[in-house]
Amino acid sequence: MNIIVCIKQVPETTEVRINPETNTLIREGVKAIINPFDMYAIEESVRLKERFGGKITVISMGPPQADAALKEAISLGVDEGILLCDRAFAGSDTWATSYTLSGAIKLIGDYDLIICGKQASDGDTAQVGPGISAHLNIPQVTYVKKIEEVKDKTMRVERLMEEGFEIIETPLPAVLTVVKEINEPRLPSLKGMMRAKSAKITVWTQKELNLDPQNIGLCGSPTQVVKIFTPPQRSGGQILAGEVPEIAQKLVELLRSEIN
Amino acid sequence: MDYLLTEEQKMVKDLARKIAEEKIRPVAAKYDQSEEYPWEVINVIAEAGLFGLFIPEEYGGMANSVMNLCLATEELSRACGGIAVCYAASALGTFPIVLFGNEEQKRKYLPDLASGKKVAAFAVTEPEAGSDASAIKTTAKKEGDYYVLNGLKHFITNGGDAETYVVIAMTDKTKGARGASAFILEKGMPGFTFGKKEEKFGIRASSTRELIFTDCKVPKANLIAKEGMGFIATMRTFDMSRPGVAAQALGIAQGALDLAVKYAKERQQFGKSISSFQGIQWMIADMATEIEAARGLVYSTARMVDAGITGVSKESAMAKMYASDVAMKVSVDALQIFGGYGYMRDYPIEKYVRDAKITQIYEGTNQIQRNIIALQVIKEAAK
């Protein structure tokens, strides 16, 4: 079973700070890690490989330093890492990102399964996995919490819902996005770390991918970030006291005056 | 402080720290309380490949060096000295095979120890033979293709949980220390059973147990080196393993200091963090300095062993003695910084005091280490 895992390098923090002038993430001084949800995707791919054999390729789109994330994935048992790195890809939204990743996946060609984390801890969109499936025109199952059964051309999985779970059988190849309930990621091994150290990360640019220039990077991104801001904290409020008819009357008056 | 570690050494240290923080620290108190063998953590250490650090590559090991073993043991001990000793004691039980085993013995036993599928133990101590190892009473009598062992070992770390044991027994009582021999035993051999499991003051995650030999038939192929080599094998093993005990002590000391500094910054008295008081600051300064001095000694000794320098008994003894004395002092001072809270089991610091104490006692009491050091210093002066 050949598996492609898509990962993202994110800042190691749950409190993302944003530069109000450029509307971009402040990355300085924050350690970069593999998006925590992607760790579950990597682990699941390694478990599938241990059961069924095959090859795992991990891909990421990002700046040159994102090769550290790919090397870490190799230390965890992934076979090969490919970094999609080109200035032309900069400023991609989820649409352009999933388009670019799907271009790389087409170039890799031979795959049975694509696994992504359910969402990235910085952007929190949960759109890239489904976007890849749309661009490749293959099925997607999101929020997978368990792979129940793997057959030659199909797979049965459990999908986490707000109340309980769904069992879905999907033809392969397919895109799965996984939730943290699916497994407990392992730590790297010394052997893996040594392999990662000497591993060579393949870098693909627009030249290798040859994608439609209109669909990549900032100009290929339909999302226009107009403004990013931290919402002001709610202040005080007012508590009305008295008999119900009386305070109801007062409330209506206050609301009217707010509108005016 | 920059310890001038190689890329490989940094990797070992980082990996061991990750295991310590993510897999050991959360369960340290649980195993301290239950005194159960921490298999879940041992399996993680095994999967990470750290059991390979004391075994040559051709037998399934990796990055085989005493320095790497010390770095791993130090980092694991920062989170729990008890769990770390389960790991380090396997190295202790493996060294005699690595150092003196023949090719067949190495091929048979080392790969499973390198992968961590099995852990090892080393059995010298007996009720009447502690510091005086020459007083060993366990006998091994040659009968045909076997040696028949009779006797009792006690205080054996990993006893009962290890699969592979190196046992020192007397093949010729009349020769004293030169009549001791080393044998490889496997758990389950007829006549090899386990006795009392000790309840301990510290390092409670590790198992410490009696080994009982009742007409235990050990194939003669399991004799290490030759008859009479038991005492030399033991001394050489301790030369290799003492830096590891020193590293365990170092890790306990560092772990205690880390907790004390964190606590001192958080704890408010008289309207300020107690870390702003000079009384506390001076304690922290002394603790940190003594730890660095111990670390220097431990790393230098480990590097000497790895460089193939023989005759490191003095340095090994110095590292073990000094680091363990530092661990005892630092952990007691760290508890002092915690004040009344430090005395309570709800806080992790009292465990460091309990775990530190054993490092002054086992693998040769610190008094025995001083004997070794003094003898060597005097001998050198006579040259």
User: Which residue of the set B74, B103, B363, B380 is catalytic?
Assistant: B363
Question: How many Å apart are CA B321 and CA B317, to the nearest integer?
Answer: 6
Q: What is the mean pLDDT of residues B159-173?
A: 97
Residues of A in contact with B61 (CB under 8 A): none
Closest chain A CA to residue B23? A187
Lowest mean pLDDT among A79-88, B128-137, B318-327: B128-137
Joined tokens for residue B204: 């409670």
Question: How many Å apart are CA A26 and CA B239, to the nearest integer?
Answer: 52
Whether residue B161 is predicted with pLDDT greater than 80 in this model: the reply is: yes
Those residues of chain B whose CB sits closer than 8 Å to some CB in chain A are 7-8, 11-12, 15, 18-19, 22-23, 44, 47-50, 52-53, 62-63
> How high is the pLDDT of residue B176?
86
Whether residue B117 is predicted with pLDDT greater than 90 in this model: the reply is: yes
Joined tokens for residue B375: 């003898």
Report the DSSP beta bridge partners of residue B213: B151, B192
> How high is the pLDDT of residue A21?
75
Of A186, A187, A190, Cβ closest to residue B63: A190
CB contact under 8 A, A190 and B44: no
Question: How many Å apart are CA A219 and CA A89, to the nearest integer?
Answer: 9
CB contact under 8 A, A189 and B48: yes
Which residues are within 8 A (CB) of A243 and not within 5 positions of it... i.e. 6 or more apart? none
Of B22, B53, B63, Cβ closest to residue A187: B22
CB contact under 8 A, B48 and A194: no
Q: How many CA atoms lie within 13 A of B220 on its CB side?
A: 9
Mind listing the pLDDT tens digit for each residue in B222-247?
A: 999 999 999 999 999 998 899 999 99
Q: Are B240 and B317 in contact (CB under 8 A)?
A: no
Angle between helices B313-342 and B278-306 (to 10 degrees): 150
Of B7, B49, B53, Cβ closest to residue A189: B49
List of domains in chain B: 7-119 (1.10.540.10), 121-228 (2.40.110.10), 231-382 (1.20.140.10)
Mind listing the pLDDT tens digit for each residue in B5-54?
A: 999 999 999 999 999 999 999 999 999 999 999 999 999 999 999 999 99
Question: How many Å apart are CA A205 and CA A213, to the nearest integer?
Answer: 12
Contact status of A184 with chain B (Cβ, < 8 Å) = no
Contact status of A244 with chain B (Cβ, < 8 Å) = no
Q: How far is CA A90 from CA A11, A84, A148, A219, in A?
A: 17, 11, 38, 10
Residues of B in contact with A190 (CB under 8 A): 11-12, 15, 48-50, 52-53, 62-63
> How high is the pLDDT of residue A15?
67
CB contact under 8 A, A186 and B15: no
Joined tokens for residue A8: 């993202």
Which residues are within 8 A (CB) of A234 and not within 5 positions of it... i.e. 6 or more apart? none
Contact status of A194 with chain B (Cβ, < 8 Å) = yes
Residues of B in contact with A194 (CB under 8 A): 8, 11, 62-63
Using pLDDT thresholds of 50, 70 and 90, give the confidence band for residue B220. very high
Q: Are A72 and A196 in contact (CB under 8 A)?
A: yes
CB contact under 8 A, A190 and B52: yes
Higher pLDDT, A113 or A235: A113
Q: What is the mean pLDDT of residues B165-186?
A: 95
CB contact under 8 A, B62 and A190: yes
The share of chain B scoring above pLDDT 70, in percent, equals 100
DSSP structural state of residue B144: T
Q: Which residue has the tokens 């590790």?
A: B206
Mind listing the pLDDT tens digit for each residue in B265-309?
A: 999 999 999 999 999 999 999 999 999 999 999 999 999 999 999
Mind listing the pLDDT tens digit for each residue in B333-372?
A: 999 999 999 999 999 999 999 999 999 999 999 999 999 9
Whether residue A193 is predicted with pLDDT greater than 70 in this model: the reply is: yes
| Residue B95: Cβ within 10 Å count | 27
Annotate chain A with DSSP letters as a single string. Answer: --EEEE--EEES-SS--EETTTTEE--TTS-EEE-HHHHHHHHHHHHHHHHH---EEEEEES-GGGHHHHHHHHHTT-SEEEEE--GGGTT--HHHHHHHHHHHHHHH---SEEEEESS-TTT----HHHHHHHHHT--EEEEEEEEEEE-SSEEEEEEE-SSSEEEEEEESSEEEEE-GGG--PPPP-HHHHHHHHH---EEE-HHHH---GGGSTGGG---------PPPPP-------S-HHHHHHHHHHHHHHHH-
Whether residue A16 is predicted with pLDDT greater than 70 in this model: the reply is: no
- What average pLDDT does the structure give for chain A? 92
Of A186, A188, A191, Cβ closest to residue B62: A191
Whether residue A230 is predicted with pLDDT greater than 80 in this model: the reply is: no
Joined tokens for residue B113: 């120890």
CB contact under 8 A, A187 and B8: no
According to DSSP, the β-strands at A18-19 and A24-25 are antiparallel
How close does chain A come to B382, measured CA to CA in Å? Answer: 46
Give the distance between the most distant pair of CA atoms in chain A: 77
Interface test with A, best of B15, B18, B44 (most A CBs within 10 A): B15
Q: Which of B253, B277, B268 is nearest to B335 (CA)?
A: B253
Whether residue A18 is predicted with pLDDT greater than 90 in this model: the reply is: no
Catalytic-residue membership of B22: no
Q: How far is CA A48 from CA A7, A55, A199, B153, in A?
A: 17, 10, 22, 46
Interface test with B, best of A74, A193, A194, A197 (most B CBs within 10 A): A193
Using pLDDT thresholds of 50, 70 and 90, give the confidence band for residue B155. very high
Interface test with B, best of A190, A191, A193 (most B CBs within 10 A): A190
Q: How far is CA A240 from CA A246, A250, B191, B252, B254, in A?
A: 9, 8, 85, 60, 58
> How high is the pLDDT of residue B248?
98
- What average pLDDT does the structure give for chain B? 96
Q: Which of B264, B253, B278 is nearest to B329 (CA)?
A: B253
The share of chain A scoring above pLDDT 70, in percent, equals 97
> How high is the pLDDT of residue A226?
81
Contact status of A47 with chain B (Cβ, < 8 Å) = no
Contact status of A197 with chain B (Cβ, < 8 Å) = yes
| Residue A86: Cβ within 10 Å count | 19
Residues of A in contact with B44 (CB under 8 A): 187
- The reply to whether omega before B219 is within 30° of 0 (cis) is no
CB contact under 8 A, A190 and B12: yes
Q: Are A75 and A34 in contact (CB under 8 A)?
A: no
Q: What is the pTM of this model?
A: 0.87
Whether residue A13 is predicted with pLDDT greater than 90 in this model: the reply is: no
List of domains in chain A: 3-220 (3.40.50.620)
Q: Which residues of B189-207 are buried (b: 16+ CB within 10 A; e: fewer)?
A: beebeeeeebebebbbbbb
Q: What is the ipTM of this complex?
A: 0.83
CA gyration radius, chain B: 21
How close does chain B come to A188, measured CA to CA in Å? Answer: 6
Whether residue A26 is predicted with pLDDT greater than 80 in this model: the reply is: no
| Residue B103: Cβ within 10 Å count | 9
Residues of B in contact with A188 (CB under 8 A): 15, 18, 48
Whether residue B259 is predicted with pLDDT greater than 70 in this model: the reply is: yes
